[in-house]
Structure 1
Amino acid sequence: MNTQEKARIQEEFQQRMDYDELLNCMKCGFCLPSCPTYIETGEDEAHSPRGRIALMKGVVDGDIEPDEEVKKSLDMCLGCRACEPVCPSGVQYGQLLEEARDIIYQNQKTPLLKRMIRKIAFKGLFPKPKRLRRLAGLLRFYQKFKIQKLVHKFKLTKILPSAFRLMEKSLPMVPKMKTAKDRYEVLMPLSSNKKRVAFFTGCLMDSLFLSTNQSTIKLLQYAGCEVVIPNNQICCGALHGHSGEKQQAKEMAKKNIEAFEHLNVDYIITNAGGCGAFLNDYHHLLKNEEDWKDRAASFDRKIKDISSLLIELGFHKQPLELPQQVVTYQDSCHLKNGQHTFMEPRQLLQSIQGADYVEMKDASRCCGSAGIYNLVQTEMSMQILDYKMKRTQETQANVIVTANPGCLLQMKMGIEKERMAHQMRAVHIVDYLLEAYEYRNKEHAG
């Protein structure tokens, strides 16, 4: 980082950072026990929320240079926002972090290869649903026509970094992309009509995890919902917002608001904790744009996670059953800390006959996925995952349930890493609830 870049970054920190919010931090330290990176680095203050806020304020005040050490501290943060619920001052740490990262990444020159990768991913792939589905289609070809088996047989994955090898083994079987292409835009309820809802399909959820999206639609129909799926929606922009591409995130937010705002629905339903939390913050993302801030606020008010809706509709009171098994739950950080949805998934799981629910110690501590964190901060991510797997094994569960695609993939990686695939599986809560509903009704019908 050269002198000119540092000067530009410092100037933008002074112009853009919310100084009142930085001053809200009382330095009390209540956030420290909730911060995974603070704990895993041996209580290094620079890798705590309090420490990072002090660094941001120091840059604004001109006491600290925005050098590589500052960037390293901000990059090391998972962005899990576990510090927010425990903060007595209510500091909006996630918003400060996103603003700081955006300033640094937009003003620091990065190597050509890295710039190209970011451009392809953030501009050419995630905002383009058709391209993501084509990519998922290639993955399906790799899985279905035994290429993957040959790759493993000849141990060709050895050339990949360890985290990539784990991820490759943990990827779900990809269904036909024709499923999404042929999907109706409006689907009627399969029981008495209780709500009219729109479904936010997401990007990875509607390609790599398409089968879970299909389960979500079916579950909503069973719960008595008319489901509207606008085909002009796109990626929520969370990965962009968290990775220093805020302007691109704003453009995507506007397209999604336009896609949903005239649908006349009770709620906009999400099944991914990370997406839901970012959608729920569109009002903040667009707060300085007069033509959009009120529209964004109206959009935000309708965002609801599927677990909250199912509880509201009394789905947990329906007969739900599975063969005898032990199940535990891993919180999605952004579902809990961003959308404040904590008890609803647990209530749903506890209502399943035959599923013995065991609460995991530190279930709400981040699993280390955090968007693309497990790819760009692999060492710390795996360190955090190791802790999570120890807590999981203590429950003696056969099933780990979670509510976010990144968490799901991370927990699958943990199972592979610990060589426990023969005794444990990770599953999205939607797929698990649909299993329980259909198993009970099939058994009852028989």
Structure 2
Amino acid sequence: MSNSSRVKTGPACDSPEAISLVRGALDKFNMDELMNCMHCGFCLPACPTYQQTGLESYSPRGRIALMKGVAQQQLAVDGEFEKNMFACLGCRACETACPAGVPYGSLIETAREVVADHKKETGRPPLVHRLVFKHLFPHPKRIKWLGNALWAAQASGLQKLADKTGLMRILPREMAEMQQAVAKVASPLARSKRAPVLKAEGETRLTIGLFTGCVMDVLFYETNQATARLLSKAGCDVVIIDNQACCGALHAHSGEMDGAIELAKRNIEAFEQAGVDFVVNNAGGCGAALKEYHHWFANDPHWTERAQAFVAKVRDANQLLAELPPLTFSKPLHARVTYQDSCHLAHGQGVRNQPRQLLRSIPGVEMIELKEADSCCGSAGIYNITNFDMSMQILDRKMERVKETQAHFIVTSNPGCLLQMKQGIIRAGLQGQMEAVHIMDLLDRALS
């Protein structure tokens, strides 16, 4: 391929703008990791966007080739590069498939950071972007205020009225469809009554700091409560730490690494002060970010050791519950159950068998293995909002597999996946036949 054909989508390589951009990118990218990609193609069958489009630039090896072009001063950071990088779900299925162990997840985050830096140099980021990443997610109280507003809309009937009268159609299509899948939000009063510590039932084996998340603790407050009850039943004192923050995953996935690192520092400090044995979460995406804090601080000697100590304590709830003495379930669930892997739990953290083990331990459950269970459902953080059409194509394919199971419950371990599967049930016309549920909620039902 000639140099001219490789750079035709961006500024000329010898232009001052292009040279300054790629020099900055060269400092960001880890060239050893980029060069480890052998372009063998093992990642292609695992990549949802490549499977949907057949485009090489929508595949992991294609995106890595584009990254190399930018890092080696052969391509500019332009709109085409941005489109290809942000079309990626970040599901990391390619990492599982890769025989060379290429850390694609960190590479795509770096590529998006390069795009974000370029935008900051050439103009201010869009208003919505600034509102979300600067003025919302770093501030837990503001997220709670939004949750209170959503609760008020639901409790007063405004949400149902807007839906029935067609007012929801004034929203963008992706928001109008998504709101149908949002469950009833816990009231501010209920959330205010949560005890800061839930003591273990019987002998205390461990003291757990529950990572409650940001949106998770508003939209899925009851799931956090169910998780705490399960851990308490398993012999853990469960501590709710007030000064914890968002995990930073959405910032990292969007190229806002400075913001992600600031959130990570707040969490490390909060859980250090709490002195807990483990930091436990119930969201695959959050857990993957928490377990990678030491990589985020690789170039910061003042925080590297503290980040490593924090990461050593992080556990997914499924992981820890599977290691503790078995729970005793008092309420059999006579139902067919299938499990949809959270991408960041399966591919990012390697937690696959533990959720299935826990589900099989519920009396009366018939486990039906879902074909392509570890392929992405299309949620991917906020991908189902920013890339709605592609997300729905991937979801519809997933729901064809889900239908084959004829399950009563489709279970997952991540809030984004749960909302996506709820939306999938609506799109597939399976209301009344199937329920999407977080694994912690289903386990909690069997304990009641």
Range class of TM-score, shorter chain:
over 0.9
Following superposition, the deviation at residue 56 of structure 1 comes to 0.4
Cα distance, 1:81 vs structure 2: 0.7
Q: What amino acid is aligned across from residue 411 of structure 2 in structure 1?
A: V
CA deviation after TM superposition for structure 1 residue 263, in Å = 2.7
Cα shift at 1:405? 0.6
Q: Structure 1: which amino acid aligns with 2:367?
A: Y
Deviations 1:31-59 (A, max 9, x none): 11111111111x21111111111110111
Conserved? CA contact 1:189–1:226, under 8 Å: yes
Show the counterpart of 2:103: 92
Match of 1:38 in 2: 50
* Native 8 Å contact 2:19 2:73 kept in 1: no
SS at the partner of 1:434?
A: helix
Contact preservation (8 Å) 1:78, 1:368? yes
Q: What letter corresponds to residue 45 of structure 2 in structure 1? A: P
Match status 1:232 vs 2:243: yes
Offset, 1:123: 1.5
In structure 2, distance between residues paired with 1:4 and 1:400: 54
| Partner residue, 1:444 | none
Aligned residue number for residue 427 of structure 1: 437
Q: Does 1:258 align with 2:269?
A: yes
Per-residue displacement from partner, 1:229-271 (whole Å, max 9, x unpaired)? 2111010110000001100000110010000013332211000
Indicate yes or no: 2:27 matched with 1:15.
yes
Task: Give TM-score, length-normalised by structure 2.
Answer: 0.94
Structure 1 counterpart of 2:223, one-letter code:
T
**Quick one: which of 240, 255, 270 aligns to 1:244?**
255
Deviations 1:152-195 (A, max 9, x none): 22111122333222211110100113333333322211233221
SS in 1 for 2:301: coil
| One-letter amino acid of the structure 2 residue matched with residue 385 of structure 1 | L
Counterpart residue number, 1:402: 412
1:159-170 equivalent positions in 2, closer than 5 A: 159-170=170-181
Q: Indicate the residue corresponding to 2:6 in structure 1.
A: none
**Aligned residue type for 1:379:** D
How far did 1:83 drift? 0.8
Q: Which amino acid aligns with 1:330?
A: Q
| Aligned equivalent of 2:88, options 69, 77, 87 | 77
Q: Which secondary structure state, in structure 2, belongs to the residue aligned with residue 37 of structure 1?
A: helix
The equivalent of 2:7 in structure 1 is none
Residues 95 and 347 in structure 2, CA contact (< 8 A), matched pair in contact too: yes
Partner of 1:356: 366
Distance 1:369 1:284 in 2: 25
When residues 350 and 62 of structure 1 are mapped into structure 2, their CA distance, relative to the original with a 3 A threshold, is: same
Indicate which of 350, 353, 366 corresponds to 1:343: 353
Q: 1:212, 1:187 → 2: CA distance?
A: 15
- Whole-Å Cα distance in 2 between the matches of residues 25 and 141 of structure 1? 51
Give the CA deviation at 1:305: 0.3
Q: Tell me the equivalent position of 1:443.
A: none
User: How many residue pairs get matched?
Assistant: 436
Aligned equivalent of 1:441: none
- Partner secondary structure for residue 334 of structure 2: strand
Residue 216 of structure 2 aligns to a residue whose secondary structure is coil
**What residue in structure 2 maps to residue 314 of structure 1?**
325
**In structure 2, what is the Cα distance between the partners aligned to 1:5 and 1:200?**
43
Q: Following superposition of structure 1 onto structure 2, how do residues 14-163 of structure 1 map, counting pairs within 5 Å? A: 14-41=26-53, 43-108=54-119, 115-163=126-174
Looking at structure 2, the residues matched to 113 and 305 of structure 1 have their Cα atoms a distance apart, in angstroms, of: 37
The reply to whether residue 385 of structure 1 matches residue 409 of structure 2 is: no
Residue number among 197, 205, 222 corresponding to 1:194 in the alignment = 205
CA contact (8 A) 1:322 1:435 kept: no
Are 1:294 and 2:294 an aligned pair? no
| Range that drifts further, 153-162 or 213-222 | 153-162
Cα distance in structure 2, aligned partners of 1:128 and 1:386:
35
C-alpha contact (below 8 Å) 1:321/1:355 kept by paired residues: no
**Is residue 9–residue 104 contact of structure 1 (8 Å, CA) maintained in 2?**
no
The answer to whether the 8 A contact 1:5-1:108 is kept is no
SS of alignment partner, residue 27 of structure 1 = coil
The one-letter amino acid of 2:222's match is S
Contact 2:153/2:159 (CA < 8 Å) preserved in 1?
A: yes
Q: Quick one: which amino acid aligns to residue 193 of structure 2?
A: D
Change (3 A) 1:261 1:385: same
User: Separation in 1 of the partners of 2:115 and 2:99?
Assistant: 29
Q: Structure 1: which 5+ runs fail to align? A: 439-446
Deviations 1:249-298 (A, max 9, x none): 00110010000013332211000000000000000011111110110010
| 1:372 Cα offset (Å) | 0.6
Q: Tell me the SS of whatever aligns to 2:315.
A: strand
Paired letter, 1:423: Q
For the residues of structure 2 that align with 1:416 and 1:159, how far apart are their CA atoms? 20
Q: Structure 2: where are the runs of 5+ without partners?
A: 1-9
Once the two structures are superposed, residues 332-380 of structure 1 have per-residue CA deviations (whole angstroms, 9 ceiling, x without a partner) of 0001111110000001111111221101000000000001100111111
Q: Which moved more, 1:351-360 or 1:301-310?
A: 351-360
Q: Is the 8 A contact 1:323 1:354 kept in 2?
A: yes
Counterparts of 2:434 and 2:253 in 1: how far apart (Å)? 32
CA, structure 1 residues 137+5, in 2 after alignment: closer, same or farther (shift >3 Å)? Answer: farther
- Pick closer, same or farther for the CA change 1:348–1:270 going to 2, 3 Å: same
Looking at structure 1, the residues matched to 120 and 282 of structure 2 have their Cα atoms a distance apart, in angstroms, of 36
Kindly tell me: are residues 168 and 364 of structure 1, through their superposed partners in 2, closer, same or farther at Cα, counting changes over 3 Å? same
Taking only aligned residues, the RMSD between alpha carbons, in angstroms, comes to 1.8
Q: Distance in 2 between matches of 1:300 and 1:5?
A: 39
2 CA distance for matches of 1:155 and 1:4? 52
In the superposition, the TM-score normalised over structure 1's length comes to 0.94
Deviation at 1:6, TM superposition (A): 4.2
